[in-house]
Amino acid sequence: MSIRPTKYDIIQDDRINLLNKKINSLSGSSQTIFIQNDNLDSQIDGINQTFDLVYNYLNNSTKIYYNGQRLIKGIDYTEIGSNQIFLNTVLTKGKLRADYLAGNTSSNPEIIINEVPFGLINSINNIFSTSQNYLTSSTELYYNGQKLILNDDYIELNNFQIEMLFIPKSGAKIIIDYIRN
């Protein structure tokens, strides 16, 4: 019996292929790309504390998550070199992910944090807009404080709108972080 890829697997593969094309085109350009969910699981071995990211990151741009919990830079991990992080503890299992900016180090991207997106939160509407255009795949959406997953919980419709894949309840709190494009 063969296992067919799910729609999510295909979307993820397409995003990775597109992202690789964007990264490869960065040489000599002033662009910055947001890398989201860089999977570091295969490097967890019960000994290793230094983890290699796929691409070189811009200093102070990393966000590291262990089993979905965001780690604190300077306490839980340290950025070393241009594409490595050092964890202050040894991991034996679990899911380790990294979000970071890659690209030209001379660029100065503007990161928008804790913006309340435009749109009614009325148990009917599920489309919200940002105040400024964002860099594709740079959004981080929070629903009542819980981080949502791009392409699982919400999608980016264009460079200023997101669609939640469920209907938020009246009175819910929605905030978004993103990199201004």
Name the β-bridge partners of 97.
39, 65
Strand, coil or helix: 8? helix
The yes/no answer on whether domain 7-103 falls in CATH 2.40.160 is no
CA atoms within 13 A on the CB side of 179: 19
- State both tokens at 160: 């200023």
pTM reported for the whole predicted model:
0.55
Q: What's the pLDDT band for 95 if we cut at 50, 70, 90?
A: very high
- For residue 29, the model assigns a pLDDT of 53
Residue 70 has pLDDT above 70, yes or no: yes
Q: What is the mean pLDDT of residues 66-84?
A: 87
